[in-house]
Amino acid sequence: MLARLLRLQGIDAVVLEQRSRDYCLARVRAGVLEHDVAQLMRDLRVGARMDRDGLVHEGIVLQVDGVPHRVDFAALTGKSVMVYGQQELTRDLIEELEADGEPPRFQAEGVVVHDVTTTTPRVTYRRGGAAQELRCAIVAGCDGFHGVCRDVIPAALRRTYETAYPYAWLGILAEAAPATGEVLYNSHERGFSLYSMRSHEVSRLYLQVPPDERIEDWPDDRVWDELDVRFARAGGGFRVGRGPTTEKGITPMRSFVSEPMQHGRLFLAGDAAHIVPPTGAKGLNLALHDVGVLADALVAWYRTGDDAALRAYSETCLRKVWRAEHFSWWMTTMLHVPPGADAFDLKLQKAQLRYVVHSRAAAASLAENYVGYDA
């Protein structure tokens, strides 16, 4: 996305990718785009397939005690979200970069970033068995939590904030038509569950499980049976649509922020600097917000020589990061059953859920954050 933003402004950008092209296009991850992110795809002229194949959702459903309650984004905010798989968005961007004549350099190994406190940073790597070097003006560390860029910032200059949640998500991807028209968040005494989708034919479903759960203990039949139990409605009449399971795994839940997001001419974006639990659908959207801020700052610098926006990059991004961190924490703790919770904790949690589904003001706050709040 950053490369696309910059190239449209006449700024050269090279993308280094550790994985293969096929891997990037096959890995299923996030799937909900905020309202402004979907519009950005259109503005960048890479949104045609998204508008054709994506699913516009004007709300979500919160189910409490087996009773569904719809949060109407369109009525509360005038906005919607787009359900469109991250791998599809990635495909659109990769194909556009290829059409520009400068595709990502896939399978770049042994990447090392040098000299970021100078005006001529370098990136060295190996590709196809040959040593390579890039000399550049700026290095954007969009390389994820396990990448190499964050550690380039000296430990003495970094502050890390993180928490691990006492639960995980067991997720499946299934070739089954979704039984719900919008994403369904479900609070249940046995644990949280989520019913989402990637298309009209593919469902993405999740169950709250302990963080040390073994995937081997969850054959498909057990997963489907547990989903039936948790999604059951008070008056009946709702059944989970079953189908062949094409992917299954367990995802730990945590929040993480590393500050600052810049050092010299190195700028971190996305999971390299921050992680949110997936409950609020913010990870992908935060990453794209980061690179949008960085692109604007770089355009201003190249055109006028003014580096004020570049110097303010970390501060600007972190305002939205911490808003999203709070929203994701709030959604997560409100919907998941905490291990060892006493009766008082559970009563408070239920009171919060009822307030959200019955108060227009509370529902509007959820909707505003979900469709994208510009902190």
Report the catalytic residues: 57, 185, 278, 282, 370
Of the pLDDT bands very low, low, confident and very high (cuts 50, 70, 90), residue 299 is: very high
Q: How many CB atoms lie within 10 A of CB 43?
A: 12
Q: Please tell me the distance from the alpha carbon of residue 94 to that of residue 330, in angstroms, as a whole number.
A: 34
Q: Per-residue pLDDT for 118 more than 80? A: yes
At CA 45, angle to CA 44 and CA 48, rounded to 5? 130
- Helix H or strand E encompassing 265: none
Res. 29 pLDDT band, cuts 50 70 90: confident
| Secondary structure (3-state) at 340 | coil
pTM score: 0.95
Determine the Cα–Cα distance for residues 295 and 301; give it in Å rounded to an integer: 10
φ/ψ region of 215 (left if φ > 0, alpha if ψ in -120 to 50, else beta) reads alpha
Say what the pLDDT of residue 292 is: 97
CA distance 202 to 200: 6
pLDDT digits (tens, 9 = 90+) for 193-218: 999 998 889 999 999 999 999 999 99
Average pLDDT across the chain, whole number = 96
- The stretch 259-287 carries a mean pLDDT of 97
CA 137 to chain centre: 28
For the cut 80, the answer to whether the pLDDT of residue 221 exceeds it is yes
CATH number for region 165-250+338-372: 3.30.9.10
User: Given this model, what pLDDT does residue 375 score?
Assistant: 74
**Comma-separated ranges of CATH 3.50.50.60 domains in the chain:** 2-58+74-162+254-335
Residue 249's identity, in one-letter code, is G
Level-2 CATH architecture, domain 2-58+74-162+254-335: 3-Layer(bba) Sandwich (3.50)
Residue type, 57: H
Residue 112 is predicted with a pLDDT of 98
The mean pLDDT of 233-244, rounded to a whole number, is 91
Q: Concatenate the DSSP letters of all residues of 202-248 into one string.
A: -EEEEEEE-TT--GGG--HHHHHHHHHHHH--TT----PPP--EEEE
How far is the C-alpha of 207 from the C-alpha of 178, rounded, in Å? 16
Q: What sign for the dihedral angle of Cα 197, 245, 333, 87?
A: negative
Residue type for 234, please?
A: A
> Cβ–Cβ contacts within 10 Å for residue 341, how many?
14
**3-state SS class at 217:** helix
Q: Give the rounded percent of residues in the chain with a pLDDT score beyond 90.
A: 95
pLDDT, tens digit, 9 for 90 and up, residues 121-171: 999 999 999 999 999 999 999 999 999 999 999 999 999 999 999 999 999
